[in-house]
Amino acid sequence: MTDFEMDPIIEQIAHEARRPVTMDRDARDRLLMAVRAEPVPARPRRGWGSLVEPRTVVVTPSYLTALAAGLVGIGVLVGMGTKLGRDSRMTGQPQVVAAPQLPASDTVVTFVFVAPAAARVSVVGDFNQWNAGATPMTRVGNSAFWSVTVPMSVGRHTYSFFAVGSDGEKWSADPFAPAAPDDGFGRENSVVLVGRGSAL
Amino acid sequence: MKWRLFGSATLLVGTLVQAAAAQDSQAEPLSSLEQRFRVQIESLIDSARQAGLPWAAVRSKALEGVNKKVDGARIVAVVRQYYANLMKSREALGNVGPGEIETGASVLTAGVRPEDLALFRPTTAGRSPTRALVYLADLISAKHGVPRDDAVAAFAKLWKDGAGDSDFDGLWRGIDQDILSGVNPKAALQNRVRSLPVRSMRPPTDVENLHS
């Protein structure tokens, strides 16, 4: 037997509480009408509206940490995805030919080109994947000479000069180097033979 | 709130993927080719790799076309021809390195016949015909205009007799100088070949190659 059952006052209160409450029917109807008269709360906006509606954002250090971690995670996943995509284009399998690594440099070669009217000149060849923007040359003082020194691996390399001037873009072979046969694209390239510590 | 988060995350991922795709296009210039041409180029690169040919050279030839803004169909035709020349070059030169195979292919492009290229097949280990072939291709080009058959015969004989890189260096410079001075290209070749010292015209042995 508990202490509550032993107390007669508490026993009386409990008895009153258990007694069914009789409610006036009109009062119940008034209550329901009042509830129905209340405006319906607006449903949260979806789609674009929810993204652009103004809101107050409370930024806490833990929120920032979580956001940074999430961004890094997404970046890693996207990076993995694009790498796999790039590699798998070769044969459709993950293990395929990767982009060739740039050869280790065995020596340096200085290219010189004469183009008095050019605004920009670059040397373009198999050593920079024929990228016209990869190896820009610099004008030597105020002269007509352009030059650049490029680290290169031993072997035979083909190249050409790419000049941009007021008359447009122009590909030119090196007049002082052996000519490579027709490139197949209607232009002539040149050859540089790189030996250990020397180049022709 | 969940929808907002989802929408924001979708936008973020979309932006990142777009940025990555743009970066990919810069890193992989072949991706600028039309799909049908790119597939053919990649197939040729893969075939070269499977065949043990210098596939990087095949890819480089395609990149050259892309960066010279040549149309895709033309690039495919050129790369296919280059691939075929690499095959012929290897057949002609035998067991040589990728550099020699590439040089041989370029000489075939210049118009030298495969059977003539085979005359430069190395018979001793470590001896490379690269320099001789580069000069040969240059001399028979339009730049110098030395008759092809004369140049091939002269260079092949020098190669067979054991001429070294320095011999071919000197020969090429001399012929180049003479032609610039107005000498007839065929005469320039004959004169300079005749003036080469006979002392070095002996194929080096494998032992000599090892010690050089």
Query: What domain count does chain A have?
Result: 1
Per residue, the 3-state secondary structure of chain A, as one string, reads: CCHHHHCHHHHHHHHHHHCCCCCCHHHHHHHHHHHHHCCCCCCCCCCHHHHHCCCCCCCCHHHHHHHHHHHHHHHHHHHHHHHHHHHHCCCCCCCCCCCCCCCCCCEEEEEEEECCCEEEEEEEEHHHCCCCCCCECEECCCCCEEEEEEEECCEEEEEEEEEEECCEEEEECCCCCCECCCCCCCCCCEEEEEECCEEC
The amino acid occupying position A179 is A
> Is residue A3 situated within a structural domain?
no
- The residue from B109, B135, B150 where one domain ends is B109
- Whether residue B170 lies inside any domain: the answer is yes
Residue-level pLDDT at B113: 97
B82 chain-A contacts, CB cut-off 8 A: 184
- Is B10 a member of any domain? no
Q: How many domains does chain B have?
A: 2
Q: What is the average pLDDT value for chain A, to the nearest integer?
A: 71
Decide if B17 is inside a domain: no
Buried b / exposed e along B63-77 (16+ C-beta atoms within 10 A): bbbbbbebebeebbe
A126 in a structural domain: yes
Looking at CA atoms only, how far is residue B4 from chain A in angstroms? 6
The answer to whether residue B173 sits within a structural domain is yes
The boundaries of the domain holding residue B84 are 31-109
Average pLDDT over residues A42-59: 50
Q: Is residue B177 assigned to a domain? A: yes
Both B103 and B58 in one domain: the answer is: yes
What tokens appear for B107 in the block?
């000489």
Among the candidates B109, B133, B152, a domain finishes at B109
**Residue A119 within a domain:** yes
A46 contacts in chain B (CB < 8 Å):
3
Judgement on whether residues B94 and B62 belong to the same structural domain of the protein: yes
Question: Do B133 and B104 lie in a common domain?
Answer: no
The residue segments making up the domain with residue A130 are 107-199
Q: What mean pLDDT comes out for the span A47-56?
A: 49
| A34/B39: higher pLDDT | B39
Under 8 Å CB-to-CB from B17, ≥6 apart: which residues? Answer: A78, A81
Contact B16 A191 (CB under 8 A): no
**Three-state DSSP class for residue B191:** helix
Give the pLDDT of residue B29.
81
Q: Which of residues B196 and A173 earns the better pLDDT score?
A: A173
Which pLDDT belongs to residue A33? 72
A53 neighbors A45 (Cβ within 8 angstroms): yes
Is residue A102 a part of any domain in this protein? no
CATH of the domain at A172: 2.60.40.10
Average pLDDT (A39-43) is 56
Mean pLDDT within B84-112: 95
Structural domain includes residue A175: yes
Written as one string, the DSSP assignment of B48-109 is HHHTTS-HHHHHHHHHHHHHTT--HHHHHHHHHHHHHHHHHHHHHH-S--HHHHHHHHHHHH
The residue among B55, B74, B109 that closes a domain is B109
| pLDDT value for B125 | 83
In-domain check, residue B18: no
The residue length of chain B stands at 212
Residues B90 and B158 in one domain: no
Q: Identify all chain A residues contacting B144, using CB atoms and an 8 Å cutoff.
A: 179
Residue B40 lies in a domain: yes
Report percent pLDDT > 70 for chain B.
80
- B210 and B169 belong to one structural domain: yes
Q: How far is A115 from chain B (nearest CA, A)?
A: 19
Q: Which carries the bigger pLDDT value, residue A142 or residue B29?
A: A142
What would the mean pLDDT of B70-81 be, rounded to a whole number? 96
B76 has pLDDT over 80? yes
Nearest-by-CA chain A residue for B3: A46
Same domain, B127 and B87: no
- pLDDT confidence bin for A195, thresholds 50/70/90: confident
**B129 and B188, same structural domain?**
yes
B21 in contact with chain A, both atoms CB, cutoff 8 A:
yes
Which pLDDT belongs to residue A21? 54
Which residue of A52, A57, A89, A161 to mutate against B (max B Cβ within 10 Å)?
Answer: A89
Distance of CA A12 to the CA centre of its chain: 75
Supply the pLDDT for residue A85. Answer: 38
Say if A75 falls within a structural domain: no
Decide if pLDDT at A14 tops 70: no
Domain annotation covers residue B8: no
Position A161 in a domain? yes
Residue A19 lies in a domain: no
The CA distance from B68 to B48, in Å, is: 23
Distance CA A186, CA A195 (A): 29
Q: What is the number of residues in chain A?
A: 200
Same domain, B209 and B165: yes
Average predicted confidence (pLDDT) for chain B: 87
Which residue from B212, B200, B131 is spatially nearest to A195, judged by alpha carbons?
B131
Q: Rounded mean pLDDT of A129-150?
A: 95
Residue range A71-80, pLDDT digits in tens: 555 544 444 4
pTM listed for this prediction: 0.66
The alpha-carbon radius of gyration of chain B (Å, integer) is 24
The rounded distance, in Å, linking the Cα atoms of B15 and B19 is: 6
